[in-house]
Amino acid sequence: MKIKKDKFKFSFSFNMRYWIVTLCLLFSVSLNMIGNNDHKAYTYQSFAARDFSNWPYIIETLEKEAAANPKNCAATLEIMNYYYGYIGHLLDVNNKKAADVWCKKAKKTYQALGQEYSNNADMVAYGSIITAFEIAISPVKAPLLAHSMFVGAKKSLQLDPNSIMGNLSYANFLYFFPEALGGDKSKALQHYMKVYNYFQGHPDIASQDWKYLFILSTLGVVNEKLGDIDNAKAWHKKALEVKPDFVFVKDVLVPRVNNK
């Protein structure tokens, strides 16, 4: 009996190792496919599903590629784009500890690769957004950092009034800051609408950019905050027409406005 038991243990152990190795290989292949071929489509789908589990891998993969070609502004912008989405998600689920870790990574990447493009409106806006994240993570820093965040957002719009990130950065400032410090939710709505209008004019980009889904849900939230429940519901409806499986809208925002 002892021999049979040992054989069973060996067989069980071997089979477990086999499946663990196999699953790891499959997971690795899957991630490589995401990182190298279709990360835009993947992040669009995963943003709708509220599944950010592979975003860190995508960021790290793109950073390695950008490090090999540090003069590629578009590559750096794409990295910052995913930092923006991922850190925003961590803050949304109130994981400030992880958000702080990733914000520091984003800042390091921006300082290494992004500051060279001081005349690129979107890049300047990302600098402002990183500062905004620092404030969100540690609000006591607001008196020290708010001015530079505001200046960065304004500079981005001066460089390009139609900049997506410039309008997002400035709209976020207007939305989240109190009126006494320059906040204005009605004015924020105008800048969020500029982002929406850009995507409406570029449907090919909108269909693969997670920020299009983000702006649809945001416009619903802002209208709700302004007390315009009918418009909030209209934006939620539009978001679900674009992406019927948009989890955050379907499971969180729609039930919330329906209770008002």
Domain extent listing, the chain: 55-183, 185-260
Q: Please tell me the pTM assigned to this model.
A: 0.84
DSSP secondary structure, 16-59, as one string? HHHHHHHHHHHHHHHHHHHHHT-HHHHHHHHHHHT--TTHHHHH
The CATH class of the 185-260 domain is mainly alpha
Task: Tell me how far apart the alpha carbons of residues 70 and 203 are, in angstroms, rounded to a whole number.
Answer: 30
> Does residue 209 contact residue 201 with C-beta atoms inside 8 Å?
no
One-letter identity of residue 245: D
Angle ∠(11,12,18) on CA atoms, nearest 5: 90
Per-residue pLDDT of the chain (260 residues; tens, 9 = 90+): 444 444 444 443 444 443 443 334 333 434 444 444 488 999 999 999 999 999 999 999 999 888 777 678 888 999 999 999 999 999 999 999 999 999 999 999 999 887 788 899 999 999 999 999 999 999 999 999 999 999 999 999 999 999 999 999 999 999 998 888 889 999 999 999 999 999 999 999 999 999 999 999 999 999 999 999 999 999 999 999 999 999 999 999 999 999 97
